Amino acid sequence: MAAPWAAAPPEEPLAREAALLAVDAALLAGVLMRTQEEPGASQVVSYAPFTLLPSAVPSALFEQAYAVQQDFNLLVDAISQNKEFLERTLASTIKVDDFTARLFRIYTQVLEEGLAQSVFLGINRSDYMFDCGADGTPALKQIEINTIAASFGGLTSRTPAVHRQVLKMLGRTEEASRLLPNNPAQGLALGIAKAWELYGSQSAVVMFLVEEVQRNIFDQRCVENELWNRNIRVIRKRFRDVFEKGSLDDARRLYIDGQEVAVVYYREGYVPQNYDPQNWEARLLLERSRAVKCPDIATQLAGTKKVQQELTRPGTLEKLLPGQAASVARIRATFAGLYSLDLGEEGDKMAAKAIADPDCFVLKPQREGGGNNLYGEELRHVLEKIKDSPERTSYILMDKIKPRPSKNYLLRPHTPLKVSECISELGIFGVYVRQGKELVLNESAGHLLRTKAIEHADGGVAAGVAVLDTPYLV
């Protein structure tokens, strides 16, 4: 099923007129980003890229994605508390992947010292595509789950208003009224506020750990403003600030600039480029502290591609979520084929299969943020080179999901208007809070639809490939 406008999207001059209206509506609604030219200040801003038209999402799959989110929250939380599972699963990866190894070292170090943190906050986003089966029926397939710095929960709440206006201008008032409201930032802030409250110090602050250059600051401000509205003080700091001014007291309470920090919300720290030796030291200091880290290092490790692949092994989910057969079934239904490339017979077989049929697979390293995966001829080339070396184990292999494309316009500053064949990726935000062993909050918090032209195999909004979208349920 497609959206009614997807078969014949508006043409010139109507398309141009609609795009002008859409861009102004986006600026008014706050679909904002700092510019590439001036990424360090807000004097000059532009709109975050978005689609001219909302894209169709099958309502049954949309509901399925929401229905499984609390299960995924439980699962991630369970993995983060399972040292034996994390150790075994990442053993081969950390031999060859330096970044995962460094995270793992901090994880071990913190456990050896004994956890000071007793309140845990998870904010994740589970991403899916709609795989088109042989008979044309779409199925919900998970691409990955992001357990650190899952973004666009703020800006995505602003696109329904824009798309409503565009549809009205195109004479589709009835369809406009069907676009759902959506506000993940509110849900994320609710989780942060709960963690702050359980930490139990009125004067302590929430610290957003942010990048050196913050183009996507408005998305973060949406969450931040929700906290200010609840009279919770928010500070924004970089790893560098933590290194220079952060300290722990005897009870391992975290202080920066003389302020006690209750919650550290990472919007940075998920790629190797975020770290120099001082930043690694800052990360260790934060992890050792009593402050609620969102995520703690164990939860970051739970979000690695290697963990995702191991979860698909028969029996693994059952062991991680004992006695929760319904959750296990809902989770498993979203899994695509994922394969280990560890050295040995199983890995040899899959490497050969992918080399023979590269268009059926995606080769993924242990990286986040888009633009790292390998496809098609490049996949074949790289696998042929590393197929007999331990380097192979730093990757996993995944079945390629093949959604049905539809036509849309992708609106980006300084980019000519043209129709593209597009595919979409739906993300559901999840939030949970645990105090000791007791889960006190477990919710889904809203959604994000991102759309990209089919000629790009990879890449998110921040990577300049995908754009924000609004689901139109069909």
Q: What are the catalytic residues?
A: 125, 144, 146, 151, 305, 364, 368-369, 450
Minimal CB distance to ligand ADP: which residue? Answer: 401
142 is in an annotated binding site: no
270 is in an annotated binding site: yes
Q: How far apart are CA 194 and CA 171, in angstroms?
A: 44
Under the binding rule (CB under 6 A), the answer on residue 469 touching ligand ADP is: no
Under the binding rule (CB under 6 A), the answer on residue 360 touching ligand ADP is: no
Half-sphere exposure of 449 (CA within 13 A, CB side): 28
Residue found under tokens 């790009």: 456
The reply to whether omega before 405 is within 30° of 0 (cis) is: no
369 is in an annotated binding site: yes
Instruction: Count the residues of the shown chain that bind ligand ADP, applying the rule CB under 6 A.
Output: 18
Both tokens of 257, joined, read 């600039």
The minimum distance between CB 402 and ligand ADP, in angstroms, equals: 7
Q: Considering the complex, state which of residue 294 and residue 379 has its C-beta at the smaller distance from ligand ADP.
A: 379
Under the binding rule (CB under 6 A), the answer on residue 368 touching ligand ADP is: yes
Under the binding rule (CB under 6 A), the answer on residue 376 touching ligand ADP is: no
Q: Return the H-helix or E-strand segment holding 235.
A: strand 234-237
Both tokens of 61, joined, read 């799959």
87 is in an annotated binding site: no
The single residue among 71, 77, 97, 144 that binds ligand ADP, judged by CB under 6 A, is 144
Phi, psi of 81 (to 5 degrees): -100, 5
Q: Considering the complex, state which of residue 369 and residue 405 has its C-beta at the smaller distance from ligand ADP.
A: 369
DSSP 254-316: EEETTEEEEEEEESS-SSGGG--HHHHHHHHHHHHSSSEEES-HHHHHHTSHHHHHHHTSTTH
Under the binding rule (CB under 6 A), the answer on residue 401 touching ligand ADP is: yes
> Between β-strands 259-266 and 292-294, what pairing exists: parallel, antiparallel or unpaired?
parallel
323 is in an annotated binding site: no
The minimum distance between CB 362 and ligand ADP, in angstroms, equals: 4
The minimum distance between CB 147 and ligand ADP, in angstroms, equals: 11
Fill in the per-residue mask, 1 to 30: x = in contact with ligand ADP (CB under 6 A), - = not in contact: ------------------------------
Nearest to 431 by CA among 210, 263, 251, 253: 263
Amino acid at 115: L
Under the binding rule (CB under 6 A), the answer on residue 430 touching ligand ADP is: no
Known binding residues are 125, 144, 146, 148-151, 214-216, 220, 267-270, 305, 364-373, 375, 398-401, 425, 450, 452, 458, 461-462
